[in-house]
Amino acid sequence: MKKFPLLLCLIYMVTTSFYPSGFENQKSLQPLSVKEIKLTPNKNFSPKNPAEEIYRQLQFADERLNFEVFEKAFLGFQNLKKSQKLVSSAKLLSICDFSLSSNRKRLWVIDLDEKKVLFNTLVAHGKGTGEEFATNFSNTEDSHQSSLGFYVTEQTYNGDNGYSMRLFGMDRGYNDAALERCIVMHGANYVSENFIKSEKRLGRSWGCPAVSREMAQPIINKIKNGTCLFIYYPDEKYLASSKWLKNAEKMDSILGSPKQNMATN
């Protein structure tokens, strides 16, 4: 008979061990709050980069333009349009990447609306800028050096170098003396594959972005009268100081609000 009470006691202990002993244990078994696992709102994600969208669709037959260079050129292009230095319908963007060897096709003309590379060809830098590679840049007359930055193309003329196109420099202190220095786009015999073969480098200008004789007329006729040209080199001082390379917020502060502009006009 003594074994029976012990057996009942053992059964009681086993069966009651599966239940929580108090309120705090019951609380700990409740499901986690939904707020603790909610997703990050969509507003925290960056919008699509329009430069990247265009770049992805470009077909590069010969030389591939570096995306970071294109992105900077596109930013400047947009800021020039925003400041009404280019017409709102402007769609052509020309880019010279002078970080590359002069033996490579480092000039691109791009139709941003059609997302198409129209031209990709050789382009010379200035005699004072370097040999095969560009290293030095200047805004000074008679330096025979190329000038960095953004330009707006102007009218054409026939001069000592044949069919040519004037360039208006938009970066103060870097290329705004282009007209006075006669920095223009023109054709030249020293811009050719044959010259590269004989001299081991492309010929050089007196600071002008010169192209080959056969490419001068079609390129100039395409980009003349109010399109954007960007001459790039990874010069940290220029890249940090050019107002055309500022983001949208900084550009708004530079240009001022519409009300401010109306007050100053």
- Decide which of 30 and 125 is more confident: 125
In a domain, 255, yes or no: no
CA-to-CA separations, 239 to 86, 174, 245, in angstroms, rounded:
21, 11, 7
pLDDT at 255: 66
Q: Kindly state whether residue 199 falls inside one of the protein's structural domains.
A: yes
Give the pLDDT confidence score for residue 180 in this predicted structure: 97
Most distant pair of Cα atoms in the chain: their distance: 128
Instruction: Report the predicted TM-score, pTM, of the whole model to 2 decimal places.
Output: 0.78
Establish if 15 belongs to a structural domain: no
Does some domain include residue 37?
Answer: no
pLDDT in tens, 206-258: 999 999 999 999 999 999 999 999 999 999 999 999 999 998 767 676 666 54
CATH number at residue 108: 2.40.440.10
- Does residue 94 register a pLDDT over 80? yes
- Tell me the C-alpha distance between 97 and 104, whole Å: 10
Q: For 28-46, what is each residue's pLDDT tens digit?
A: 334 433 333 333 343 333 4
Task: For the sheet with 107-111, list strands across it.
Answer: 116-121, 107-111, 92-97, 228-232, 149-159, 162-169, 184-188, 211-212
Per the domain annotation, does 38 fall within a domain? no
Structural domain contains residue 113 = yes
| 133 falls within a domain | yes
As a whole number, the mean pLDDT across the chain is 85
Number of domains the chain contains:
1
Residue 81 structure tokens = 């349009």
In the prediction, which pLDDT does 50 show? Answer: 94
Q: Domain of 94?
A: 50-249
Give the model's pLDDT for residue 96.
Answer: 98
The Cα 135–Cα 229 span in angstroms is: 20
